[in-house]
Amino acid sequence: MSVVAAKGFRAAGVAAGIKASGNPDLALVVNDGPRFDAAGVFTRNKVKAAPVLWTEQVVAATRRLRAVVLNSGGANACTGHEGFQTAHSTAEKAAALLDAGAIEVAVCSTGLIGAQLPRGRVLAGVERAHAALSAAPGAGPAAAAAIMTTDTVVKQAAHSDGAGWSVGGMAKGAGMIAPSMATMLAVVTTDAAIDGEVLDEALRAAVRVSFDRLDVDGSTSTNDTVLVLASGASGVEADPLAFTAALTAVCRDLAQQMQADAEGVTKRITVRVSGAASEDDAVTVARTVARDSLVKTALFGSDPNWGRVAAAVGYSDADVNPEMLDISINGALLCHRGVASGDRSAADLSGKEVLVHVELGLGDGHAEILTTDLSHAYVEENSAYSS
């Protein structure tokens, strides 16, 4: 159920003193091989944190990783040359301890944008994390805990279906997610034997329908990073399709855990769009509805205000024919062919799960976006916490 679920991996999480609170803030995940294939996807934000610039280079150059160092307590974004030097030194430190090259070590950071990390503490933390490395079950949660910021629970997942290999992972992220800002990090490990190129394709396919379909607040991070490391330690060559399915399941599981622990969440909202002219259009409409502050506040207030959904559908960039538009909330059809239908009190919003279903009546495109409501707690957390 963690980043050490698959064979060939060790992990550790320590308190390096980066966070003022003294909570765990540095994690190390090591691949002991025999293989070191890796792939990554990174934020599309044009303002990229130093560790993203470093890790993107490293993964693109070699498609191999021996280890990943992750820290919370600081995003190391907008930190210039000094910040890049900190990321580089972190990789060098881990590499020296592992008898590897710095180019085989990824670095991820999360926390406040615009402050330098305390480099000495980070490097000392890497040393202590290396000393604490373990493949025991407790090592996964320790690593997952060390990457939390406003997260309230650790996020881990694993998948094993008897094919001889397994997939496990951890993630963090609670706000600024679209897929996210200074927040969303995930490391997934597998003991399947799988080529870097296949791994890269599998990761892109998995992320496209998991993390990329989670949208808490429309804000895309400077630091988002998802990495997958394959040790080959099972000795079993994975079928690419089966592996992609397993990786997707783990990524979806982690994305759902992020949704459930999102900042200020009181409702877990799924926006499902069907009948779109294309899958892209379905994603566009679902994302527009999921981001609309008025939809999100209405659902926080348990108000099935489908008119706000209709308006959001209408201002999305997708093909929409208002006369074909159906809207259901938690199974109650409230708008049929663009006109009010039924009784809005038929939509029961007393529970924590909300399904907003938009049928566009135009084609076969469909998609779901996971989001959350906009609550007092979201405002409180984000006005009081410098993240």
Q: Identify the residue among 96, 115, 135, 205 touching a second copy (CB under 8 A).
A: 115
Neighbours of 160 (CB within 10 A): 15
Among candidate residues 43, 55, 150, 183, the one labeled active-site is 183
Q: Is 386 annotated as a binding residue?
A: no
What is the C-alpha separation between 369 and 177, in angstroms, rounded? 12
Q: Interface with a second copy includes 113 (CB under 8 A)?
A: yes
Residues numbered 38-57 forming contacts with a second copy, rule: CB under 8 A: 44-48
Residues numbered 242-281 forming contacts with a second copy, rule: CB under 8 A: none
| DSSP conformation letters of 237-284 | BPPHHHHHHHHHHHHHHHHHHHHHT-TT-S-EEEEEEEEESSHHHHHH
SS3 187: strand
**Which of these segments, 27-35, 65-73, 272-280, 334-342, binds a second copy (CB under 8 A)?**
334-342
Least distance to a second copy from the beta carbon of 239, Å? 36
CA nearest to 239, candidates 207, 196, 188, 198:
198
Q: Is 220 annotated as a binding residue?
A: no
Contacts of 282 (CB under 8 A, 6+ apart): 273, 274, 276, 318, 360, 365, 366, 367
Q: Is 43 annotated as a binding residue?
A: no
- Apex CA 367: angle with CA 365 and CA 369, to 5°? 155
Q: Is 172 annotated as a binding residue?
A: yes
Q: Interface with a second copy includes 222 (CB under 8 A)?
A: yes
- Residue 152 bears catalytic tag: no
Q: Identify the residue among 30, 77, 103, 254 touching a second copy (CB under 8 A).
A: 77
Q: Interface with a second copy includes 78 (CB under 8 A)?
A: yes
**Which of these segments, 16-24, 70-78, 100-108, 271-279, binds a second copy (CB under 8 A)?**
70-78
Asked if residue 326 lies in contact with residue 336, where contact means CB atoms within 8 angstroms, the answer is yes
Would you state the structure tokens that stand for residue 53, as one six-digit string? 């610039």
Strand pairing partners for 226?
Answer: 41, 186
H or E element that contains 30: strand 26-31
Would you state the structure tokens that stand for residue 361, as one six-digit string? 């009546």
Residues numbered 277-316 forming contacts with a second copy, rule: CB under 8 A: 291-294, 297-298, 300-301, 303, 305-308, 310-315
CA nearest to 158, candidates 175, 142, 137:
137
Q: Which residues are catalytic?
A: 183
Q: Which residues are annotated as a binding site for substrate?
A: 149, 172, 183, 263, 382, 387
Annotated binding site: 149, 172, 183, 263, 382, 387
Interface residues with a second copy (CB under 8 A) are 44-48, 75, 77-80, 83, 112-116, 175-176, 178, 181-182, 217-222, 291-294, 297-298, 300-301, 303, 305-308, 310-315, 320, 322, 325, 334-335, 337-340, 374-376, 378-380, 382-384, 386-387
